[in-house]
Structure 1
Amino acid sequence: MVVGDASIDIDVLVIGAGPGGYVAAIRAAQLGKSVMIADKSDFGGVCLNRGCIPSKALISAAHQYETMQNGDIGISAEGIKVDFAKVQQWKSSVVNKLTGGVTSLLKGNKVQTFNGEVMFINENEARLFNESESPRYRFKHCIIATGSRPIELKTFPYGGRILSSTEALELSEIPKSLVVIGGGYIGIELGQTFAKFGTKVTVLEGSDTILPGFEKDLTQLVSRKLKKSGVDIHTNALAQGCEQTDKDATVTFTVNGEEKQVTAEYVLVTVGRRPNTDGELGLDLIGIKMTDRGMIEVDEQGRTSIPHIYAIGDIVAGPALAHKASYEGKVAAESIAGLPSVVDYRAIPLVVFSDPEIASVGMSESEAKEKGINVSVGKFPFAANGRALSLNATEGYVKVIANKENGLVLGAQVVGAEASNIIAELGLAIEMGATLEDIALTIHAHPTLGEIVMEASEVALGHPIHIKI
């Protein structure tokens, strides 16, 4: 019971209930800790409510709509239409099922929950508050998992015709036209989705290729599919400003010094995300060490400069990925429980749910060579795979990179149908220290897309069966 303003004792306070926070809370509870998790918004975080899940639902709907319009395999339908309100209703039902699942999992693991803000009082206590209550908690350990939010450009403030990814996912109607500022994974996924629904899309990307950070061989296939869908792509493009009316917005941008303009019903800004380490949380009050970009500095177990306070997810260094946050959440919880867990990002996959999908894990060929490693490389096309042909999904390839001296798998890239699933086998190979022979000698079911991984490994070993080298 709480008497007056007395603090409630808890083993672990988790701030933020996204894919990092709720996983950390459950794991800590499994390890015998009393846990309180607090979030000012919906449990499940941005990923589940306003990012990963709703966007993939829309991507799936758009893909099905496109497939139904394609008569390449002799099946076509007339009068196909999109009831976008129903699509959005279905998307929301998917989100609601998962958010309900998170709440049930927390409850089932005896994790206490609080919907409201958190503010540090000192490095051992925090105030939790909402409109009706403001309890004070004294914790032995704390895990900060407050996530990130879309970066807002001064010249493109959100509102009116200018959208962040959050508003784009909630549109009630399919826009007739859309300018996407930022050709990273969020911009490409959403831009391509709306293009499949019939929106005229223009992508403005500041670097010399869309999806910067991925090898150009991978992104070229996506660029080609985008252009086939009628998407205009401008690389080396710098957005300068925007003029809005009640019906549209005109974006001024430059390409190699030449000024251009494009008008669309909406402008979607996807230029990155900002860590949620500012505001009323009070990190400056307790003196946690941070970078000049607002990221919290942590060690290999997630400890901050205050050893009993941990930080995970988008607020620490590394890519802003839900699965990275969940992984770090487990490590932090296990560290608190005294286990020797440490982070190891060697096998963290990167996935873009574009069309075709892109996935990467471990080192690229160029990264391995820069480290002075003599490599064996195997590349096998989807077009030579029976399952890919039967799916009418022949674009793409699997590329495997290994150490030539011992055959150890170092990395892989996949572009093509189900790349997001195929990459898992390759991530496991890297994690367990597998060799090319381990993969090549593993019997893969036929006909499956998974066979392409085996075939690529055989190419790297120099004895492929189904293509000539």
Structure 2
Amino acid sequence: MSIGKYDVYPPTDASFEDPPRMDKYDVIVIGGGGGGYHGAFELSKGNYSVLLIDDKGNLGGNCLYEGCIPSKSVSIALYLLEKLRGILKSVGNNDVDKVRLLWENLIDHKDNVQYIRYLQHIREIKEHGNVDFVKGIARVVDNHRVVVEADDGSWRREVEGKYLIVATGSLPIKIPVPGSELAIGSQELFGYKTKYRKIPSDVVIIGGGYIGVEVASVLSGLGVKVTIVEMLPRILSGWDSSIVSMIEDKLRNREVTILTNSRVTGIREEGGQKIVEYAKPDGSKGYVAGSEVIMAVGRRANVEGLNQLGIVDKNHVDVNDAMATKVPNVYAAGDVIGRYMLYHAAVKESVVASWNIMMGRPIFEVNFNAVPMTIFTEPEAAMVGLSEDAAKAKGIGYEVVQYPLEDDSYAQIIGVRDGWVKLIIEKGTQRIIGGVIYGEAASMIINEVALAIAVNARVKDLALLAHAHPTIFESIDRAAIRYSV
């Protein structure tokens, strides 16, 4: 999907389709995703005039259009149904198996969630009177000038800004092999008002990162036969090995086939099926077939048209922790900087950029060590800070405490007792330096560990914190109190 070209555009407001109202602004923000609009709103509150440009005509970027919001709308709806089935089966009621969510139901639900949020964003834009939001395509001329034009070419205007915030996001990667055009991606699966509304009987997922694994978890939960093809020795590269083992076991229990050390060499159609060919490190070759192939090999920073600014390095925009580039009046945030390609990271990067612009110098910084990562599998997995391997590599002395969720009251109530909470503690200082969670609500629990890391909390601070009962958050202090002070 190229910039400014979408099969279905989000709802917008007629006023957003007009050219920019002024020739000069305090700040021009290119991109309306998490890396753009949060900073724009902060600047608006500071009485800065802001031009915010996005080619979709609404906010939320790829996260809302085809990423985290729609995909989680699907996975969480399915997850809730599975939990209800599990609870009823535990008391001998198997009739709940007759209650099913069809793929069409899930897609309708995610469309509705997207629509609600798009209407919310229209309201939010209008609440920030200093923000001039324009649906258009931005082309950078230099560090002050930007050309904005309508996607249909009906108007074109050059504008000037004292500052620029570059938040152009990222684009999906398609590996350059014969037949790659036969694969679909997040746009087809989760894009707003997608026409792809029938679930395939069997799929091949190229890529064993968190996106591919999440899709495999969702589809296998609906009875789809899934095969993951990953070129590395293990799926979920960079994740805690204990989490990877748990997720692999869960996927295989759902009859998901995982092929590692398998580099895709081509895709072809044959007999109504799509054939994915792959090669092993020893030179052997193989293939796997499915009615659909899903490309999930990651995303790349969208740096198109930015080279003339001198801020692009190794295919991403280079910034420091203050979100400042080497060009004094140019800041950047979000996927384009190539660090954490996560919406919540982009939001904080955007806010930090805006605050530093208002301060007139780089004062605020993003604490990247406290950015949590989550995999929305069933159950969820999450981690933040240093893993055990990372701590070892840095020569940091550490200790680990762990609490099994099978003993947690909320996990027992909800019927998900798999998993654990693991805290990584620096010896001597007793500071929390990392956390790894697998199990119910891991995406929520991890935020408390992230806060502990951000404020340099010690393990006894968590051990002494009283959590409401019965909630899953009690597992945090239950883990912490196991540490021998």
**TM-score for both structures, normalised by structure 1:** 0.92
Query: Residue type of the partner of 2:63?
Result: C
Cα distance between partner residues in 2 of 1:6 and 1:251: 51
Partner in structure 1 of residue 13 of structure 2:
none
SS in 1 for 2:481: helix
Q: Would you say the 8 A contact 1:400–1:457 is kept in 2?
A: yes
Q: Cα distance, 1:461 vs. partner?
A: 2.5
Alignment of 1:283-302 (within 5 A): 283-285=306-308, 287-292=309-314, 294-302=315-323
Q: Answer yes or no: is the 8 Å Cα contact 1:178–1:202 preserved in 2.
A: yes
What is the SS of the residue equivalent to 1:74?
A: coil
The alignment status of 1:146 with 2:164, answered yes or no, reads no
Structure 1, unaligned stretches of length 5 or more? 463-469
Q: 1:428 to 1:119 in 2, by over 3 A?
A: same
Task: Give the paired residue count.
Answer: 453
Distance change >3 Å, CA 242–CA 137, structure 1 → 2: same
Q: Secondary structure at the match of 2:472?
A: coil
Instruction: Classify the secondary structure of the residue corresponding to 1:153.
Output: coil
Q: Which runs of 5+ in 2 are unaligned?
A: 1-18
Shift of residue 428, structure 1, vs aligned partner: 1.0
Match of 2:61 in 1: 45
1:72 counterpart residue number: 90
Alpha-carbon distance in 1 for matches of 2:206, 2:78: 21
Q: Which residue of 2 aligns with 1:426?
A: 449
Equivalent position of 2:285 in the other structure: 259
Shift of 1:90: 1.5
Q: Does 1:81 find its partner at 2:93?
A: no
Are the counterparts in 1 of residues 179 and 266 from structure 2 also a CA contact under 8 Å? Answer: no
Deviation at 1:446, TM superposition (A): 2.4
1:7 Cα deviation (Å)? Answer: 6.8
2:174 is paired with a residue whose SS is: coil
Please give the per-residue CA displacement for 1:68-87, whole angstroms capped at 9, x wherever unaligned.
55423433325333333232
- Would you say the 8 A contact 1:240–1:253 is kept in 2? yes
Asked if the contact 1:65–1:196 (Cα under 8 Å) also holds between the matched residues in 2, the reply is no
Q: Quick check: 1:372 aligned with 2:398?
A: no
CA displacement at 1:388 relative to structure 2: 1.2
Q: Determine the C-alpha separation between the residues in 1 that align with 2:106 and 2:30.
A: 33
Residue equivalent to 1:465: none
- CA distance in structure 2 between the partners assigned to 1:61 and 1:245 by the alignment: 35
| Partner residue in 1 for 2:472 | 449
1:244 maps to a residue whose letter is: E
Cα distance, 1:374–1:188 mapped onto 2, change above 3 Å: same
Q: 345, 361, 375: which one pairs with 1:324?
A: 345
Once the two structures are superposed, residues 80-131 of structure 1 have per-residue CA deviations (whole angstroms, 9 ceiling, x without a partner) of 3333323212110101111222222122012111111011233211111013
Looking at structure 1, the residues matched to 22 and 85 of structure 2 have their Cα atoms a distance apart, in angstroms, of: 62
CA distance in 1, matches of 2:122, 2:157: 21
Distance in 2, matches of 1:6 and 1:320, equals: 32
Letter in 2 for 1:326: V
Q: Give 1:68-467 correspondences, 5 Å limit.
A: 68-70=84-86, 71-76=89-94, 77-110=96-129, 111-130=131-150, 131=152, 132-155=154-177, 159-160=181-182, 162-169=183-190, 170=194, 171-245=196-270, 247-257=272-282, 258-278=284-304, 282-285=305-308, 287-292=309-314, 294-338=315-359, 340-461=363-484
- The answer to whether the 8 Å contact 2:300/2:338 transfers is no
**Residues in 1 aligned to 2:323 and 2:394: alpha-carbon distance in whole angstroms:** 27
- Structure 1 residue ranges (4+ consecutive) displaced by more than 6 angstroms after TM superposition: 4-7
Percent pairwise identity: 30
Q: Is the 8 A contact 2:180 2:267 kept in 1?
A: no
What is the CA–CA distance in structure 2 between the aligned matches of 1:114 and 1:275, rounded to whole Å? 22
Does the 8 Å contact 1:84/1:173 carry over to 2?
Answer: yes
Cα contact 2:303–2:312 (8 A) shared by 1: no
Distance 2:387 2:74 in 1: 30
**Residue pair 1:378, 1:459 contacting (<8 A) in 2 also:** yes
Q: Deviations over 1:16-46 (max 9, x none)?
A: 0001111111111112211110011242100
Residue aligned with 1:459, SS = coil
Letter in 2 for 1:300: D
Q: Which position in structure 2 is the counterpart of 1:57? A: 73
On the 8 A contact 2:306/2:312 being kept in 1, the answer is no
2:277 partner amino acid: T
The equivalent of 1:467 in structure 2 is: none
CA, structure 1 residues 156+164, in 2 after alignment: closer, same or farther (shift >3 Å)? Answer: farther
Distance 1:299 1:216 in 2: 30
Coordinate RMSD, CA, aligned: 2.0
**SS at 1:122 equivalent:** coil
Over 3 Å counting, the alpha-carbon distance change for 1:91 and 1:5 in structure 2 is closer
Counterpart secondary structure, 1:163: coil
User: 3-state SS of the aligned residue for 2:313?
Assistant: coil
CA separation of 1:309/1:202 partners in 2, compared to 1, >3 Å: closer, same or farther? same
Instruction: For 2:165 and 2:92, locate their aligned partners in 1 and report how far apart those are by CA, in whole Å.
Output: 55
User: In the TM superposition, what whole-angstrom CA distance separates every residue of 1:399-447 from its partner, at most 9, and x where no partner exists?
Assistant: 1111221211111111111000001111111111211111101112222
Question: Aligned partners of 1:291, 1:274: CA distance in 2, in Å?
Answer: 13
Aligned-partner residue type, residue 90 of structure 2: D
Report if the CA contact (8 A) 2:30-2:167 is conserved. Answer: yes
Judge conservation of contact 2:35–2:349 (CA < 8 Å) in 1.
yes
Instruction: Note the alpha carbon deviations across 1:333-387, whole angstroms, 9 max, x for none.
Output: 0011016212221211111111221111111123223323222210111112122
Q: Partners in 2 of 1:284 and 1:380 — Cα distance?
A: 50
Shift of 1:156: 5.6
Matched residue type, 1:23: H
Q: Supply the AA of the counterpart residue of 1:430.
A: I
Deviates more, 1:410-419 or 1:334-343: 334-343
Secondary structure of 1:101's counterpart equals helix
